[in-house]
Amino acid sequence: MTMPRLPLDPDAAWRAFEARDRHSDGRFVGAVKTTGIYCKPSCPARRPKRENMDFYRTPEEARGAGFRACLRCTPDAVGRDRIAVARAIALIEAADELVALDTIAACVGYAPHHFHRLFKRATGVTPAAYARGLMAGRAARALTEDSTVTAAIYEAGYSAPSRFYEGGAKRLGMSPSAWQRGGEGVTIRWILAETSLGAMLVAATDKGLCRVSFDEDEGALRARFPHAAIVPGGAALADLAARVVASVESPERDQDLPLDVRGTAFQEAIWQALREIPLGETRSYAELAAAAGTPKAVRAAGSACGANPVSIVVPCHRAQRSDGTLGGYAYGIDRKVALRDREGVA
C-alpha cells in the first residue's frame, strides 16, 4: 500500500520531529548522524541537535544511506500498523453486528490491548466506537425508510432494541421515533452573531451546537431541520454564541464547546481528526483520510470537510490539498485565508 507523504521540507520535517507529531509517522523518518539510527517523528527518545539530523521519505532511503532502525520506536512498523487499521475497518464495515476486539485483533495479527491503542491513535475512536457509529448511521438511514422503529433497529444490525437505546439513540441526539419523523419534537435555538468575518448563524439543541455557519439565516436552518421546532435563542443561547464568536476572534483560546452533530462513522472520524489539528497547523485531505484509517478515501475526506455542520468549532479551514493549495471552503476562500492568518498558518 502506497501511503500519502508530506513534501520533504527539512524545516517542516524538523518541526514535526521536534513536536513528536504522530500525524507525521509514516510520512518520513529522521536520521541521527551521530548515532546512525533513524526514527519516526513521534519517537519518545531525546532529541538531537538540528545539525545532526537528516530526513528521508522512507525507511528504505534511510537504510540505503547507511542508517539502521530505532529499536525503541520501530519506524519500519508504521506501514504495517496502517494496513492493519485499514483491514480492521473493512472487517467492521462488512460485519452485520459488533465484532469483538479479540476477533478483530486476531484477524490483523496484533494483541488486543495493543491494537486497541493503535486503532484509536489512527482514527480518533476505539474499534467499538467506530462500529457503534457505523450502526447508528445505518439506523438513521433505516429510520427514514422502514415503517417501524423496531424494523429499523434490527436492519441496522443491533441484536435487540435495548442495544440501540443504550448507544445508538444517544448518538442520534434524539429519540428514534423523533428521528423517523424528521426531528419532530426537537427544539433548536438560533441566533445571528456578528463577527469580524460577517454574520454567523449559531444554532443549538439542548445537547450542544448543531449548526455554525456564515451566510445563513433562520430560513436555511429550517430547510436543514424541517420538522424541528426552530425558535430564537435569546438569553438561553447568548453565552454559547459568545464563546463561538470568541473562537473566531481569538482562536488561541480553547472554548471546549459542546456539540450535537451527526454524520457517518467516516465523517465523524474526519471531524475528530480536524479537531485534533493544533492551532497554526494544517493537514492535507490525504492526511485526514489516513488519520481516519482509510488512506485511499482522499476525495471522501474532502467531502466530509465540506459536510462539516459546525464551522470554526470543527476547523475544516485547516484542511488543504496535498500540494499546499487551499482547496475549497463552504464560506469562501477569503474567509478561509483570514481564519488561517489569525491562527498563524504560514
C-alpha cell at 40: 519516526
Distance CA 268, CA 212 (A): 16
Q: Positive or negative CA dihedral for 74, 77, 82, 86? A: negative
C-alpha cell belonging to residue 78: 508504521
**What is the rounded distance in angstroms from the CA atom of residue 204 to the CA atom of residue 101?**
35
For residue 125, the SS3 value is coil
HSE (side-chain half, CA atoms, 13 Å) at 95? 22
- Selecting among 39, 70, 73, 210, the annotated active-site residue is 39
* Angstrom distance (rounded) from CA 307 to CA 106: 35
How far apart are alpha carbons 177 and 174 in whole angstroms? Answer: 8
Pick the catalytic residue from 43, 70, 73, 316: 316
Neighbours of 100 (CB within 10 A): 11
Which cell goes with 170?
444517544
Is 39 among the catalytic positions? yes
Helix (H, G, I), strand (E, B) or coil at 212: strand
Cell of 31: 536520521
Annotated catalytic, 70? Answer: no
What residue type is 92 in one-letter code?
A: I
Tell me the pairing of strands 198-204 and 68-69: unpaired
Residue 164 near residue 153 (C-beta atoms within 8 A): yes
Catalytic residues: 39, 316
